[in-house]
């Protein structure tokens, strides 16, 4: 091996110094590029986290809104169901009252028909009794009355006629 005498005269030392300078300069540039890439990545991750946070808040707001709408829909459904129940009860009550009124009307009509039938039967019996009595009276009068009795009754009726006309 060669003896170069001084540190500065040895080419291997210069190669080592140049390598160290190159590594320092290149490392600084590489470190800056890596730091820039890492900063960009960090910013991208931060933006993604902020977007995720914003999306989460929107999802929570949508969930609250959906829950509120569901609760409102349930309340509306309960009100509608209660209203339907009340309407059904009202309709059933009205139908029951109408059926009772119709039954009372039919009963009244049946009683009226019965009363009319009874009156017609009583009238028929009276007419038949009157006809029978008139026939019986005719028969009795025909048997008991003679021409002489007839004449005397007609004369008597004619005599009472002026008094009856004055009284009327």
pLDDT digits (tens, 9 = 90+) for 83-102: 999 999 999 999 999 999 99
Q: Which of 22-31, 75-84, 135-144 has the highest mean pLDDT?
A: 75-84
pLDDT of residue 58: 95
The residue range of the domain holding 62 is 11-163
Q: Tell me the C-alpha distance between 166 and 144, whole Å.
A: 32
- What sign for the dihedral angle of Cα 30, 36, 41, 45? positive
pLDDT for res 4: 65
Q: In angstroms, how far is CA 111 from the centroid of its own chain? A: 42
Gap between the Cα atoms of 11 and 5, Å rounded: 11
Token couple for 110:
């049946």
Is position 150 within any domain? yes
Average pLDDT over residues 140-151: 76
Q: Could you tell me if residue 112 is inside a domain?
A: yes
Lowest-pLDDT range of 36-40, 42-46, 138-142: 138-142
The structural domain count of the chain equals 1
d(CA 47, CA 44): 5
Domain annotation covers residue 17:
yes
Task: Name the residue with higher pLDDT: 68 or 149.
Answer: 68
Query: Residue 5 falls within a domain, yes or no?
Result: no
CA distance 99 to 112: 19
What is the band of 61 on the pLDDT scale with cuts at 50, 70, 90? very high
pLDDT above 70 for 2 = no
């Amino acid at each position: 091996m060669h003896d170069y005498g001084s540190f500065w005269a040895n080419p291997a030392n210069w190669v080592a110094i140049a390598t160290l300078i190159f590594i320092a300069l290149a490392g600084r540039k590489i470190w800056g590029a890596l730091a820039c890439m890492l900063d960009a990545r960090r910013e991208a991750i931060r933006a993604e986290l902020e977007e995720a946070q914003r999306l989460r808040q929107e999802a929570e707001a949508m969930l609250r809104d959906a829950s509120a709408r569901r609760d409102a829909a349930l309340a509306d459904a309960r009100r509608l169901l209660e209203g339907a129940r009340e309407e059904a009860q009202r309709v059933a009550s009205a139908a029951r009252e109408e059926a009772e009124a119709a039954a009372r009307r039919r009963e009244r009509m049946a009683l009226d028909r019965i009363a009319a039938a009874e009156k017609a039967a009583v009238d028929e019996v009276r007419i038949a009794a009157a006809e029978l009595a008139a026939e019986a009276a005719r028969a009795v009068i025909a048997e008991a009355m003679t021409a002489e009795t007839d004449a005397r009754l007609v004369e008597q009726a004619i005599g009472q006629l002026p008094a009856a006309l004055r009284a009327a």
